[in-house]
Amino acid sequence: MDFCFRRRVEKITLGRGDALLPLFEAIVNSMQEIRNRQDACGLFDGYIQVRIYRDKAQTVLDLENPPESWVHGFSVTDNGTGFTSVNMESFRTSDSELKKDFGGQGVGRLLWLKAFENVSITSTFEETGKRYKRKFRFSLDDDGVSPDYVNLVPTDEAIETTIRLDAYKSPFKERCTRGVNLIADRIAEHCFLYFMNDRCPNVTIHEGDNDKNGVSVNAKVDILTKETAHFTVAGHQFTMVNLNLAKGSTVEQKIHYCADNRTVETKSINSLIPDAAGHLKTKEGNRFIYKAFVTGPLLDKTVNEMRDSFRIATGAELDLYDDEPTLKDIFEGSVREAARYLSPYTKVIAEAKIEDISKYIKEKAYWFKHLLKNQEALNKIPPGLTETDLDIQLYRVDQEVGRQNRERLHAIEIRSDTEDVTEDIDRLMKDIGEREQSKLAEYVVQRRVILDLFEKRLGVNADGQYPPEKAIHSIVYPMRATSDDCMPDTQNLWIIDERLSYHSYLASDKLLSSIKHAKSKSAMRPDIAVFNRPIIFSDGTQPTQSVVIIEFKQAGRNKYSDKENPVKQVLAEVTKLRTPNRNSFGEDGRLITIGDGTLFYCYVYATLTTQLRDTIVTSPGFHPMPDNMGYFAYHDPLNTWIEVVDYEKLLSDAKKRNAILFHKLGLRR
């Protein structure tokens, strides 16, 4: 039966990330042919030389420090059996079964044409007591081989085969690993089980035709300890070789899933066994990285022809065959085995990590205290994190605990049987209560931090100057914003009065004319204006309407002109809002007008200097507060309550209101 050779190659799928797979195929073929020759002729020192050829346009004349520019091609030279008549016949046969015992798919050489424009082979081999040299090009033309020259050569000519892969095609050229050592690492990973064999040939990599400074791939396989284990998944047996390696290009612990002694898929276990991330140490203190190689008849049987995946359900599909394991099942089984093997090395790391986490929570992150009893969740946090990264990890764990609690609650709610759920409810309520207590602790700590910051803003800075008014204003509420813009946790109105947090609408440092609900053309800009329905502050005594105006003055300010008199300033703002026909508030087509019965509350916060005290005392109706840290008055014509309060009183009162909370958490100075 004839077939279209070009079409056969075109149908091959080679992933963009598999640019080195054609090279791996050539190297594995070389290893197999060296093994065949050793079996036939006795043991000898096998070798494989890999040469990297780069784009000439990027090459510099420094062979001692060659560039790592784009790879143009490779050559692979070995002293294996070579292209004998039998091997050549197999090479010409699509999907050949000659190397079936090695797990050969019969299509590996087709990958060369998939990724490279030009492929040429030169092979000196022995047959019937004589030696021959064969040369041919492998291409998409005709039957793939043209021409095929075979000449008799002297019997002392070395048996050797060179495969030259030239002119990388796009996108494989751009995706190809460039560094010599990185390519060596990739070869070692892919063929690791071959390198573990005592009869493995010596494999070296060179830059072009330069024989100096070759990189030994065998040296990459530096095994400190080795243990072979077995596990079963759905009745299928798997072998797992656990290795401690002295060297590696990364500190990523990996499990390799192999078919016919070659890596097909690789999974990192750093996130699954966090305490194994990074270099581990033996009892003697030697650092190592961990690799494991999983093999089994099922993997050999199900590997696809490109050797980049297995024909096994991933675990995401519907489980159509209950007796067959999924890749997820195999992966989880191997991770359990890896955790068992690594436990003597990770135990010390895990204990130190938990101790560090506990110390951080107890001393600096009280709000995560409920997580201390959740050992399973904390075990998943990587060790050696900075405090910032640890806080992020604890936040994620806390969110997951919250999600699980919601699921538990939902499961209880939908129960339709008559079983007793009292114990489940009690346990859930206890867990939820502990988590919410921790959330409250976090909020209390934040309040303490805010008050400390507020206190600093009341003093002079490094330049001996008081911070501007906005430095205080922005702590209480973001400037140039409204309650439509700000989330509740971005404001600290509680410093003034807890009730201010429960409002309908608030405008901070906004022109009265810009407030969407106020029909006002005034250019005045109160620091904070709080309205009840339909705007901000509701005191819960409907139908009485109330408006709160708050003004901040720079701490330490000593001089106020008559125009800057803060009492006159707030009264002017009230007057503007009370002006008939210019101060209506609307929502859903309903008009509510500030009337004579609307009560205004005006609060001025400043440093009560002698001048400011004199100004207030001379204003009609003002009386000192009992602690002499402020003044109050009721302005009858405008139905307005006014308070002028010293910043020290504002800070002191806020601390007193929160003192019991700080005390319970041990937040004492």
Domain boundaries, the chain: 5-220, 223-361, 365-440, 469-660
Site of tokens 């803060």: 566
Out of 143-147, 451-455, 521-525, which region has the weakest mean confidence (pLDDT)? 521-525
The winner for highest mean pLDDT among 347-361, 370-384, 404-418, 571-585 is: 347-361
Q: Indicate the DSSP class of residue 382.
A: P
Out of 343-357, 411-425, 436-450, 611-625, which region has the weakest mean confidence (pLDDT)? 411-425
Out of 290-304, 528-542, 553-567, which region has the weakest mean confidence (pLDDT)? 528-542
Distance CA 276, CA 382 (A): 9
Q: pLDDT value at position 591? A: 42
pLDDT digits (tens, 9 = 90+) for 634-650: 999 899 999 999 999 99
Q: What is the Cα 168 distance to its own chain's centre? A: 34
Q: pLDDT value at position 589? A: 37
Q: 588 phi and psi, to 5 degrees? A: 55, 35
Q: Indicate the DSSP class of residue 386.
A: -
Distance CA 580, CA 420 (A): 66
CB 549 within 8 A of CB 529: yes
Residue 541: pLDDT band (50, 70, 90) is very low
pLDDT digits (tens, 9 = 90+) for 407-438: 776 676 666 554 566 666 667 666 666 677 67
Q: 533 phi and psi, to 5 degrees? A: -75, 135
Q: pLDDT value at position 504? A: 62
Provide the percentage of residues in the chain whose pLDDT is more than 90. 38
Distance CA 372, CA 352 (A): 14
Residue 148: pLDDT band (50, 70, 90) is confident
Determine the 3-state secondary structure of 232 from DSSP.
strand
Q: Is 211 left (phi over 0), alpha (psi -120 to 50) or beta?
A: alpha
Encoded tokens for 477: 């509420």
What is the enclosing helix (H) or strand (E) of 203? strand 202-207
Task: Give the list of residues 6+ apart from residue 542 with CB closer than 8 angstroms, or none.
Answer: 533
**Span 487-492, mean pLDDT?**
77
- For residue 383, cis peptide bond before it (omega within 30 degrees of 0): no
Q: pLDDT value at position 514? A: 56
Q: Is the dihedral of CA 419, 425, 428, 430 positive or negative?
A: negative
Question: Terminal CA-to-CA distance of the chain, rounded, Å?
Answer: 91
| DSSP characters over 137-156 | EE-SSTTSEEEEEEEEE-TT
Q: Indicate the DSSP class of residue 292.
A: E
**Span 36-52, mean pLDDT?**
92
The helix-helix angle for 469-476 and 422-457 (nearest 10°) equals 170
Encoded tokens for 161: 């085969």
For β-strands 503-508 and 528-537, DSSP reports them as: antiparallel
The winner for highest mean pLDDT among 210-214, 429-433, 553-557 is: 553-557
Q: pLDDT value at position 616? A: 86
Residue 127: pLDDT band (50, 70, 90) is very high
**Span 82-95, mean pLDDT?**
85
Q: What angle do CA 566, 530, 614 make, to 5 degrees?
A: 15
Encoded tokens for 9: 């190659």
Q: What is the dihedral of CA 52, 57, 60, 66, to 10 degrees?
A: -20
Count how many Cα atoms sit within 13 Å of the Cα of residue 190 in the half-sphere of its side chain: 20
- For residue 478, cis peptide bond before it (omega within 30 degrees of 0): no
Say which residue, 330 or 620, is predicted with more confidence.
Answer: 330
CB 567 within 8 A of CB 642: yes
Closest CA to 178 of 396, 381, 19, 357: 19
Determine the 3-state secondary structure of 635 from DSSP.
strand
Q: What angle do CA 555, 561, 564 make, to 5 degrees?
A: 65
CB 193 within 8 A of CB 262: yes
Closest CA to 382 of 360, 400, 357: 357
Residue 117: pLDDT band (50, 70, 90) is very high
Determine the 3-state secondary structure of 164 from DSSP.
strand
Q: 654 phi and psi, to 5 degrees? A: -65, -40
Closest CA to 517 of 543, 541, 483, 542: 483
Strand order in the sheet with 116-127: 145-153, 130-138, 116-127, 160-168, 71-78, 47-54, 202-207, 215-216
- Count CB atoms within 10 A of the CB of residue 422: 8
Q: pLDDT value at position 586? A: 40
**b/e code 282-318 from CB counts within 10 Å (16+ = b):** eeeeeebbbbbbbbbebbeebbeebbbebebbeeeee
Q: C-alpha distances in angstroms, 105 versus 90, 262, 279, 286?
A: 12, 13, 37, 41
**Span 212-230, mean pLDDT?**
91
Encoded tokens for 61: 């004349």
pLDDT digits (tens, 9 = 90+) for 240-298: 999 999 865 567 899 999 998 889 999 999 888 988 887 788 888 888 999 999 999 99
Residue 387: pLDDT band (50, 70, 90) is very high
For residue 568, pLDDT over 50 is answered with yes
Strand partners, 267: 255
Q: Is 5-220 CATH 3.30.70.270?
A: no
Provide the strand spans (E) within 246-401: 254-259, 262-268, 280-281, 287-295
Q: pLDDT value at position 587? A: 39
Out of 127-141, 423-437, 603-617, which region has the weakest mean confidence (pLDDT)? 423-437
Out of 107-121, 230-244, 286-300, 325-339, which region has the weakest mean confidence (pLDDT)? 107-121
Distance CA 495, CA 414 (A): 43
Distance CA 594, CA 537 (A): 14
Q: What type of residue is 258?
A: C
Distance CA 556, CA 100 (A): 90
For residue 59, pLDDT over 50 is answered with no
Mean pLDDT of the chain: 82
Encoded tokens for 662: 């700080």
Q: Is 509 left (phi over 0), alpha (psi -120 to 50) or beta?
A: left
Q: pLDDT value at position 515? A: 58
Closest CA to 205 of 222, 219, 195: 219
Q: Is the dihedral of CA 160, 161, 166, 169 positive or negative?
A: negative
